[in-house]
């Protein structure tokens, strides 16, 4: 996810990973179908777990993942409030929001 390998994950990098790469029809909205399909391909999770992750990420509960949803998560990931998210902060956040992923052989 850290595309420039600087050790930090920016809002733009999160957006690229979870919106740009998952928005298969390019309408700016990642639906649950688009998300679960791509998440399962990328992380080899089961359908139920990927739906749970979608619902967790969809803060606005409108059935559509957008930049706004992910920006709010970026703030939650930044546990030391330095406006950057390290790989360790991202991993800790992911363990917290999706503990099953690490027990199912995800990457």
Q: Rounded distance, CA 98 to CA 90, Å?
A: 12
Architecture of 8-103 per CATH? Orthogonal Bundle (1.10)
CB 18 within 8 A of CB 57: yes
Model confidence pLDDT, tens digit, residues 78-98 = 999 888 899 899 889 888 887
Model confidence pLDDT, tens digit, residues 33-70 = 999 999 999 888 888 888 998 998 999 999 999 988 88
> Rg of the Cα trace of the chain?
13
What is the per-residue pLDDT for 20? 86
Residue 96, class by beta-carbon neighbours within 10 Å (0-12 exposed, 13-18 middle, 19+ buried)? exposed
Nearest to 40, CA basis, from 53, 59, 31, 28:
53
| pLDDT above 90 (res 31) | yes
Residue count of the chain, please give it: 107
């Amino acid at each position: 996810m850290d595309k420039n390998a600087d050790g930090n994950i920016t809002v733009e990098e999160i957006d690229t990973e979870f919106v740009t790469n998952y928005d298969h029809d390019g309408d700016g909205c990642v639906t649950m179908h688009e998300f679960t399909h791509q998440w399962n391909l990328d992380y080899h999770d089961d359908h139920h777990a990927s739906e749970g992750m979608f619902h967790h990420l969809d803060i606005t509960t409108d059935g559509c993942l957008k930049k706004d949803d992910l920006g709010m998560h970026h703030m939650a990931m930044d546990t030391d409030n330095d406006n950057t998210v390290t790989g360790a902060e991202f991993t800790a956040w992911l363990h917290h929001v999706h503990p099953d992923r690490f027990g199912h052989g995800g990457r």
